[in-house]
Structure 1
Amino acid sequence: MTHETYTLNLYLLRHGKAVEDFANDFDRPLTPRGREQAKEKGQLLKKIVRSLNLIVCSPSSRTRETLDYLNINHFQSRVYFFKELYLATSDDLIKSIQNFKNTNSMLIIGHNPALHCLSHLFLSSSYSSSENPTKLTSFPTAALAHFSLNIQNCHELNIRQSNLIAFYP
């Protein structure tokens, strides 16, 4: 059995600021500030990312709207909406990552607490607490984390070989 290893550039993006009081949480739209946050993160992504093969997004209104306002169509990424990303756990996010083999760059647009928990999982597995470069005490709206992950045998995510490249609150 061949043990192929490749690097995945994983970008985790929390949706922009959403309306607080709304009848149905799933349908909460972005506020004007949330739309601006998404536009700003889209500009940032255009500066820091050379290619983006895949976008995996929660189907909630605020995450879809965030994707629209990113305005990153020039990447010509494949886009998937997974209902499992709404109210997801960090384990659900890991499964989403593992669903795609040989993808070298992926953006996940989702929600807290899953994004924050997954970031902590990557950081705590990669560093001792004394050498952790970023504590990531919060994952605010429109926060973007860039991790470099080693993937083995197409579907095996080795979280011990994950590195935080940058965090943009």
Structure 2
Amino acid sequence: MDLILWRHAEAEPAQPGLDDLERALTPKGHKQARRMGQWLDSVLPENCRILVSPATRTVQTVAGLGRKYKVHPDLAPGADASDILKAANWPASKEAVLVVGHQPTLGQAAALLMTGEDSDWEMKKGAAWWFVQREPDDPASLYLKAVMQPDLVMK
């Protein structure tokens, strides 16, 4: 199974009176989302299932990909790493899954996948981490296929 974790691009800072779910991308964030979306579209399988947090900033991020997606309420801010893996049906899914979500949850999911332990790993804004597990019942068949961030994508 392929699992791609994509952190939302740069968003407006939290403000008093503004619901966290309503925070939008900054102009820089829109640029990051377009660049990463173009790269991901060029490398993702056609049948990739795309799951997105209900937050405005994640929905705006995935728009840069230009593919159909499903908003998944269990991916909202405050979710934990196990929520991400469960939503993606890790490692049993027969198709690649792209999850667009938030820090610290995505970094925690990456750490859990790579080490089997709870840890807080940082995932940069707009970055994507691509994991592959060749055999669903063999955690030793897991590897990190790619890590990409917006400023490394060719213009």
Q: TM-score, normalised by structure 2?
A: 0.82
Structure (1/2) with the larger strand percentage? 1
- SS for the counterpart of 2:126 is coil
Following superposition of structure 1 onto structure 2, how do residues 1-169 of structure 1 map, counting pairs within 5 Å? 8-22=1-15, 23-71=18-66, 73=67, 77=68, 79-86=69-76, 87-98=78-89, 102-125=93-116, 138-150=122-134, 152=136, 159-169=139-149
Is the CA contact (8 Å cut-off) linking 1:145 and 1:164 kept in structure 2?
yes
Aligned-pair Cα RMSD in Å: 2.4
Shift of 1:103: 2.9
Amino acid paired to 1:107: L
28 and 38 in structure 1: CA distance in 2 versus 1, 3 angstrom threshold: same
Separation in 1, partners of 2:59, 2:121: 26
Shift of 1:95: 1.0
118 and 50 in structure 1: CA distance in 2 versus 1, 3 angstrom threshold: same
Unaligned runs of 5+ residues in structure 2 are 150-155
Separation in 1, partners of 2:62, 2:133: 23
Q: TM-score, normalised by structure 1?
A: 0.75
166 and 56 in structure 1: CA distance in 2 versus 1, 3 angstrom threshold: same
Identity of aligned residues (%): 26
